[in-house]
Amino acid sequence: MRVGCIGYATEQGVGHLAKSFYDASVITHPAIFLHDQRKNHLDWYPEGTPTFETVPFAGPKVDAYVRSVDVLMFFETPWDWSLLRYCKERGVKTVLVPMYEWFPRRPEYLPDKFICPSLLDYDYFRHHNAEFIPVPVDVSWQLRTKARRYLHNAGGIGFREHKGTRELLLAMKYVKSDLQLTVRSQDEEGLRKILLETNTITNGRIKVEFGNKQYKDLWQDYDVLVAPEKFNGLSLPLQEARAAGMLVMTTNRFPMNTWLPTDPLIPVSKQFRTRIADHLQEIDECVMEPQTIARIMDLWYDRDISDYSLGGREWATQNSWQALKPRWLEGLAI
């Protein structure tokens, strides 16, 4: 089966996602959609890998690429929705791994199948041709024994600050224990703005790291990932931190509370309906109080998390490429 994918080759979640499927030989015929603001890692893929710069996708180069595959998959978006029709006319099946919060309210075309990376995504697309298959993880596990070193991965901050970075920084004003928090971000301007607005830029217990870090080193030297996320379904950092043996302290909401131990999860104070943009579908957004986040952080500080960490190793085995690759190949064979 010849599986194509048009995706970013950039240091962000959607870029790493496509690369992991290529490295696992699920994607056999990659193509790169060049990002106009981030570094494009053309070295991630073989020399001669097709590249596309603009949408709509059209012309002989696109036609040749489409005809070279049996199924074309996309992560989050097909970039050019008319490409779904284009593929159908040429007998090429299409599969979308959706990000539900970014899906249009009235899409012009639909893929032949949705493979949903979380149960929340599946809830949104279950009435179409949809299947839930977890995204495999491939990180190095190490035993964490005490909950002392706390990490927050702000990434690119995200729309509506959905990673909860602002609330977490405010929570540090209420933390009573001696814990130290490291906050990482690829968006230096965005994080500095939040630090300034929360008046936490000079908090001596907050260490800030900017820029990209080697992917294999993301979860080394830390015990706890704090991520008061507000609405996403799939969260690669949560999965990777769990598989790496860290204690994962995120929001107590669906679907995270279906696969993570619930004791360290942060209670939600309320939810409300919203949209990331007017043309996208409605979603539930969670609200977490900084005082509550601080209470949970303090509650776990310096506790023995050895059993939790060992559970992460078992979870990693169950959600490894070795375990899940057959399901993905079967799901793509439509």
Domains of the chain, start order:
3-136+322-332 (3.40.50.2000), 149-317 (3.40.50.2000)
Give the range among 155-159, 239-243, 252-256 with minimum mean pLDDT. 155-159
Residue that is written with structure tokens 């970013």 in the block: 8
Long-range CB contacts for residues 119-124, cutoff 8 Å, separation at least 24: 119/233, 119/254, 119/255, 119/258, 120/233, 120/254, 120/255, 121/233, 121/234, 124/98, 124/100, 124/281
Q: What is the pLDDT of residues 275-288, one digit of tens each?
A: 999 999 999 999 99
pLDDT tier at 188, thresholds 50, 70, 90: very high
Q: Retrieve residue 282's tokens.
A: 């409605």
The predicted pLDDT at position 286 comes to 98
Instruction: Please provide residue 245's backbone torsions phi and psi, each rounded to the nearest 5 degrees.
Output: 100, 5
Q: Tokens for 257, please give them.
A: 């509370």
pLDDT at 203: 80
pTM of the predicted structure, to 2 decimals: 0.94
Please tell me the total number of residues recorded for the chain in this structure: 334
What is 147-184 written as a DSSP string? S-EEEEEEET--GGGTT-HHHHHHHTTT--S--EEEEE
pLDDT of residue 214: 73
Q: Rounded to whole angstroms, how far apart are CA atoms 259 and 227?
A: 15
The pLDDT score that the predictor gives to residue 157 is: 86
| Position 69 confidence tier, pLDDT thresholds 50, 70, 90 | very high
